[in-house]
């Protein structure tokens, strides 16, 4: 599904990713954990195509297609989705208008017809109900004044509607209360399928009790320094990152 080879990325002369290698198989849920500043969000942005980053070397292949040659909207059309660590507030853009535009752009890219308004509403309401998103919230401008947890749920609502191929969740669990964590995790689990893979960035092993990953990767200083199964998250919880920090310095 996704293959990242020797990815080297810098921003304003600061090297952030240092020859990162990562493979995520079709249908796999891969978790990435790692200290603050190790480059996890940078990786998510580079996959999604945010500008500002200078890719010095390496490649990112999605089903063999070179993602780095595509603009951000082309990546979205190809099925790349990023749930942001800090979702942006978009004043003046109604949530429903935004969702409809995204969904129809995605359908167009897949060669499907636009949804009729009733069909669209039905889908949004169904997804919102599952995620326990209040319908009143859908009438507001996108994310404006939403609580931290409400913004995270809105990201998952977008993901559920767009049915992407490759989903990157950047600390979607941070700021969620206990019930929201369960609701969001169930939303993600319901989307697990062949033909869809996930990269779940988190600091907390707790999330991985809800979204049980197939693989866990430790990132440090812009590289994947260890890969294991879900038990690796438990080891990290117990031992912290000291081992990886010293390993890097040596």
Ligand X SMILES: Nc1ncnc2c1ncn2[C@@H]1O[C@H](COP(=O)(O)OP(=O)(O)OP(=O)(O)O)[C@@H](O)[C@H]1O
Residues that bind Mg ion (CB under 5 A): 40-41, 85
Looking up tokens 């990201």 gives 155
The token pair at 236 is 């990290």
Sequential DSSP letters for 174-188: TT--HHHHHHHHHHH
Choose the binding region for ligand X from 11-19, 69-77, 204-212, 223-231 (rule: CB under 6 A): 11-19
Q: Does 18 bind ligand X (CB under 6 A)?
A: no
> Closest approach of Cβ 217 to ligand X, in Å?
12
Task: Tell me if 8 contacts ligand X by CB under 6 A.
Answer: no
Encoded tokens for 209: 């009790």
Q: Least Å distance between CB 73 and ligand X?
A: 22
Cβ nearer to Mg ion, comparing 127 with 208: 208
Residue with tokens 């749920």: 153
- Given the complex with Mg ion, which of 103 and 167 has the nearer CB atom? 167
Q: Is 37 in the site for ligand X (CB under 6 A)?
A: yes
Least Å distance between CB 170 and Mg ion? 6
- List, in sequence order, every residue forming a beta bridge with 121; answer none if it has no partner: none
Q: What element of type H or E holds 122?
A: helix 117-130
196 exposure class (CB count in 10 Å sphere: 0-12, 13-18, 19+): buried
By beta-carbon proximity to ligand X, the closer residue of 40 and 226 is: 40
Residue 40 binds ligand X, judged by CB under 6 A: yes
Instruction: State the DSSP string of 26-40.
Output: TT-EEEEE--TTSSH
Q: Smallest distance from the beta carbon of 210 to Mg ion, in angstroms? A: 20
Strands 90-94 and 80-83, by their bridges, are unpaired
202 binds ligand X (CB under 6 A): no
Q: What does 194 interact with, of Mg ion, ligand X, none (CB < 5 to 8 A by kind)?
A: none
Query: Applying CB under 6 A, does 39 fall inside the site for ligand X?
Result: yes
């Amino acid at each position: 599904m996704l293959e990242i080879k020797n990815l080297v990325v810098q921003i304003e002369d600061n090297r952030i990713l240092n020859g990162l290698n990562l493979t995520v198989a079709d249908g796999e849920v891969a978790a990435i954990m790692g200290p603050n500043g190790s480059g996890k969000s940078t990786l998510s942005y580079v996959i999604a195509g945010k500008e500002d980053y200078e890719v010095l070397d390496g490649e990112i292949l999605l089903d063999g297609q070179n993602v780095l040659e595509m603009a951000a909207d082309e990546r979205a059309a190809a099925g790349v989705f990023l749930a942001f660590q800090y979702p942006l507030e978009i004043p003046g853009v109604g949530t429903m208008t935004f969702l409809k535009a995204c969904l129809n752009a995605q359908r167009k890219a897949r060669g499907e017809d636009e949804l009729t308004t009733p069909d669209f509403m039905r889908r949004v309401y169904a997804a919102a109900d599952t995620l326990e998103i209040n319908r009143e919230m859908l009438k507001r401008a996108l994310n404006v004044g939403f609580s931290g947890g409400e913004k995270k749920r809105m990201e998952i609502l977008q993901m559920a509607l767009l049915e992407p191929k490759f989903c990157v969740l950047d600390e979607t669990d941070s700021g969620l209360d206990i019930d929201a964590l369960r609701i969001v995790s169930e939303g993600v689990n319901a989307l697990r399928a062949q033909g869809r893979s996930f990269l779940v960035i988190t600091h907390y092993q707790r999330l991985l009790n809800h979204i049980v990953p197939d693989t866990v990767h430790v990132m440090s200083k812009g590289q994947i320094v260890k890969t294991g199964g879900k038990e690796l998250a438990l080891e990290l919880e117990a031992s912290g990152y000291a081992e990886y920090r010293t390993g890097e310095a040596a």
